[in-house]
Chain A
Amino acid sequence: MKILAQAFSLLCFVFANSLFGQAADSNSTELSPFEKAELRRLLDLDFLDLSRMPIRSVLGYEQEHWRNPASVHVIRPDDISRNGHVLTVDAFRNVAGMYTTRGVGYDDFVTMRNFSGSATEKFLTMVDGREVLQLMGGTINWTTEDVPLAILDRIEIIRGPGASLWGTNAVSGVVNIVTKHSAQTQGDSVRLVIEDDGTFLGDFVHGGQLGDGEFYRFWVRDQEYSEGKLISGLDARDDGYARKAGFRFDKELSADLDLTIAGGFATRRVEHILDLTARLFYNNAANPTSPIPIHLANALNLPNLPTPLIPTSWQSSAVSGEFLSSLNLPRYQNYEEMPQDGSHIRGKLSGVTDNDLEWSLGGYAELYDTTLGHIGHSWEREEFDFDFKANKPIGDFNHIAFGLSYRHISFDVDEVVTSPWAFSSFDLNTGSFRTDIPIIDYGNSPTKFERFTGFIQDSIELNDQVVLSLGAKFEDSDLSGSSVQPGIRASYTLDEQNIFWGAYSRAYRQASLVEQYTTVSYARIWDPATSLWANQSFFGDPNLDDEKMDAFELGWRTRPSDRLLIELSLYHYNTKNAVFSGPPVYSTSNVKTSGGELTFDYQPSRTWHLKGGYSYSRGKKDSKPQDDFPESMVNLSSQLALSDNLTFIQSLYYTGQRTIASAYNPIPIDDYLRLDLGLIWQTRENWEIGLFGRDLLDPDHPENMYNDLDVEPGRVERTFLLSITKKF
């Protein structure tokens, strides 16, 4: 109730100001710096894009509008290719507030604004309206969901909760990936990226026209991962491949009635590791909650040790002669295949009526099959989604958006016991001896889920200075029950150069299926009293409440000139029931996070473009400071045109120190500074050759890993990269 009172006070303040404040000189024919910057952006739009630009729109839809009361960053294809990034996820390193890290060669982790917990990706990610968050583990497979640069139109990143417009799981933010209309990808495009270690990516896109108003494209990709090293110097065994294909068909059924059908397929074949070093213990009768690693028990000559000391099935996972120095224990690990296949098809019918109602009716079907061989857990997911959205100007001041959607998800889950674990152990859950206890046991937990959602949002132009957005999303879900996620945002134009905005939102994140429904067997303990191995597990909690976050945000956007944009965004999040994993249970905590981002975009001349940002974030979990997210991050990027067809790129990234949290092996990650340099040569109108050196200041450094699953982080190494692109 206190929150609502505060929100209401904010509303009253905004409303009072709109009545008594001085109006900006809206009759001036002079262009403001914001208008000039928008004009430069509009110049890049073709006839088709211009025809789709609404005159009035819902606040929060048009992300680049300067009055948008949200902290937004938009990535375009050039931002990816001209910074020497290979995949779209790499480009998130240039987004203040996003913490992007690499594990082994094919693993990317992304968090936003100091969110942690067992599922790191606590933001909603969509590709052309299709949600791509993996419900099982609460993560995103960035390889599977990546798209060729040639078909990418933009990536809109909204920092901060956007639940009232976007829905559940839009807790720390929204990443909205939008691809181009087929009419805009006509002809052939090729992109090849080769790294000095042999990593390769190749995309081919072909687009054509079938008839009047009928366009299509299809594309294929091959990505080959070469093997890297772990920080210890051991081989990372992260070689493998990913292959993808996709298509899109667009047809103008009539004026202002469009049909889109699209689909894709992705397959990835890699291996992954499970750390087995500290998973066999000796029961410590004096302190049962602190069992002793079996090798340590052996070194201490404790009584009645098992014979053999290490179970036979476990012995083959030993890495001969290697110790995990942080734990001073012999190293054990198990690699298994991790195949992943995903396919989807989506359709959308959209139009605009004569009374300005803009609507879309869409749906998609998705099939995803993955096996996490290292933990013996696999699932096949079928997903169907239908949604209807519409928006319409009402009178001169209001613009209403509303929508309904339905989703059905079903899983077919399977578990197998991986070979090291296949030794007889006492299962406390069943009271029997078993050799087939899987690491993750989904048991008879629910496998079918439905979700109904509706939303309504009103954007109100109170006057030329104040725009207000009120909205709420209503959700009824098998996983999380019923919820209402309200949001209120407002922007105030002080003058032609300065805009302030503020927002309050409430957002929910539903716990992943692993967090709710699985039993995780993470260790075996030898009991000298009974001479038995016993399985140790911790349990998901089907009664885990949704994480509930109240978010308060303030922002300031200033354009001293049309060539310089500075933005400051501040936030305070109060999250209840944030889920953190680790034995013996998935626990929830209250987390308070505060921070902000300061960004700038400066183009002092036609030949030089500078962009950058600084983010600061500090969190407390149950009143204790968190150290699993870097407090400070900086990114700076400079593009200098040496001539009409030669551009010199310099990018600098700083990431503060942090700790990879772990139940038994926390790993400190030092702060690091990364320098990338590149040269881009436009040989002819559509051809571009880029040569980049990345991480030039450091031969390698660690960034991240799956805590309590991986043994150690991979080395993120200095690389040299050649890219050759033929654009449409």
Chain B
Amino acid sequence: MRTRVLLLVLGLFSVFLGVDSVLANPGLVAEKRKVTRVQAVYLKHLINFTHWDASDLPGPTKPAKILLLGEDKNGMIETFQYLVSESKLKIGGRSVEVIHFKNPLVPDAIKELEANPSVIFLLPKSNSQVKKIRDLSPKSLLVGNGRDLVEKHQADIAFTISKNRVRLVIREKTFTRKSPMLSSRISALRNVVEVIP
């Protein structure tokens, strides 16, 4: 009886594993949305651990701006806006305004970039315009996806996925420059952060 139970369980297991390989590709969307949620919370925490000089922020009564650039397929905009609202996120004591541009090179987006927003987050597949964005906004905290963004394109922080976890790759200069400056406490979290020169 016990052997038959085992065989039945293993048989069912095999059937499902076999069928898995035939079916189309479900489940990834839920995974990507979870990654997006974790990244959004990381971003909120990173902002809390970043210091901006007053001269790099708008006037005390004006909101600090966070730009999200690129195509949003996984709900990052709504996720981050929800977090800003829930956590009452502030930058330098100022309220926060979240703005999204699907195309970072449209005139309105360029105008906002030239105003040096506090944070720029590049949604996936926006990395090709990083250099231009950086040239337009040298004083923004530039965050995005993929190690190359930091290694090759001089962004400040990038999210990566390794070992089934969301991790951070951070340019060393982000901890040492005057503004915006990320707290060096973050660099001590070896399981979370990889610092590259």
Interface residues of A, Cβ cutoff 8 Å to B:
4, 8, 11, 15, 23, 26-31, 35-36, 38-40, 42-43, 45-48, 50-56, 212-213, 252, 254-256, 258, 352-354, 356, 358, 393, 395-398, 458, 460-464, 468, 470, 472, 482, 484, 486
Contact = CB atoms under 8 A, between A and B. Distances in A.
A256 B164 contact: no
Nearest to A562: B82
Given A42-B41, A47-B189, A460-B20, A53 B165 contact: yes
B27 interface: yes
12 contacts: A26-B30, A29-B78, A35-B33, A35-B75, A35-B79, A39-B40, A43-B44, A56-B31, A397-B23, A397-B26, A460-B20, A470-B12
Given A30-B75, A43-B44, A47-B186, A356 B163 contact: yes
B164 A54 contact: yes
Contact of B35 (A15, A55, A255, A353): A55
Given A252-B190, A463-B26, A55 B161 contact: yes
A43 B80 CA distance: 11
A43 B192 contact: no
B167 to A, nearest CB: 7
B135 interface: no
Interface in B1-27: 2, 5-6, 8-9, 12-13, 16-17, 19-21, 23, 25-27
B74 interface: yes
B45 interface: yes
Contacts of A15: 16, 19
Nearest to A458: B13
B99 interface: no
Contacts of A40: 86
B133 to A, nearest CB: 22
B9 A472 contact: yes
A396 B83 contact: no
Given A36-B82, A55-B161, A353-B163, A43 B35 contact: no
Contacts, number: 152
Contacts of B21: 395
Nearest to B25: A396
Q: Nearest 5 CB-CB pairs, A to B?
A: A461-B27, A463-B26, A51-B192, A352-B163, A26-B29
A48 B37 contact: no
B78 A31 contact: yes
Nearest to A395: B20
Interface residues of B, number: 55
A484 B2 contact: yes
Contacts of A23: 26
A251 B28 CA distance: 34
Contacts of B87: 43
Nearest to B3: A484
Contact of A393 (B6, B82, B164): B164
A213 B190 contact: yes
Contacts of A468: 16
A47 B45 contact: yes
B13 A470 contact: yes
Contacts of A48: 189, 191-192
B173 interface: no
A51 B194 CA distance: 12
B44 to A, nearest CB: 7
Contact of A55 (B16, B31, B41): B31
Nearest to B6: A484
Given A35-B37, A47-B189, A482-B2, 18 more contacts: A15-B16, A31-B79, A38-B37, A47-B186, A48-B192, A53-B166, A212-B190, A255-B190, A353-B163, A356-B163, A393-B164, A458-B16, A458-B17, A460-B16, A461-B27, A464-B27, A472-B9, A484-B2
B27 A43 contact: no
A453 to B, nearest CB: 15
Q: Which of B26, B161, B166, B189 has the most CB of A within 10 A?
A: B26
Contacts of A35: 33, 37, 75, 79
Contact of B17 (A30, A52, A256, A398): A398
B188 interface: yes
A31 B36 CA distance: 11
Contact of A51 (B17, B37, B83, B167): B167
Contacts of A484: 2, 5-6
Given A30-B75, A56-B31, A463-B26, A51 B165 contact: yes
A255 B167 CA distance: 11
Contact of A45 (B41, B162, B189): B41
B41 A50 contact: yes
B191 A255 contact: yes
Interface in B100-120: none
A54 B30 CA distance: 13
A47 B28 CA distance: 24
Contacts of B34: 55
B13 A352 contact: no
B124 to A, nearest CB: 13
B38 interface: yes
A29 B23 CA distance: 25
Given A53-B38, A55-B164, A396 B86 contact: no
A393 B17 CA distance: 13
Nearest to B42: A50
A482 B3 CA distance: 12
A53 B166 CA distance: 8
A252 B77 CA distance: 35
A484 B44 CA distance: 47
Contact of A463 (B27, B45, B75): B27
B191 A43 contact: no
A254 to B, nearest CB: 8
Nearest to A482: B2
B97 interface: no
B153 interface: no
B72 interface: yes
Contacts of A45: 41
B132 interface: no
A27 B78 contact: no
B73 interface: yes
A464 B23 CA distance: 13
Contact of A27 (B29, B86, B161): B29
Q: Which of A43, A398, A482 has the most CB of B within 10 A?
A: A43
A221 B186 CA distance: 33
Contact of A43 (B33, B73, B74, B86): B86
A398 B189 contact: no
Contacts of B42: 47, 50
Contacts of B28: 396
A208 to B, nearest CB: 15
Nearest to A356: B164
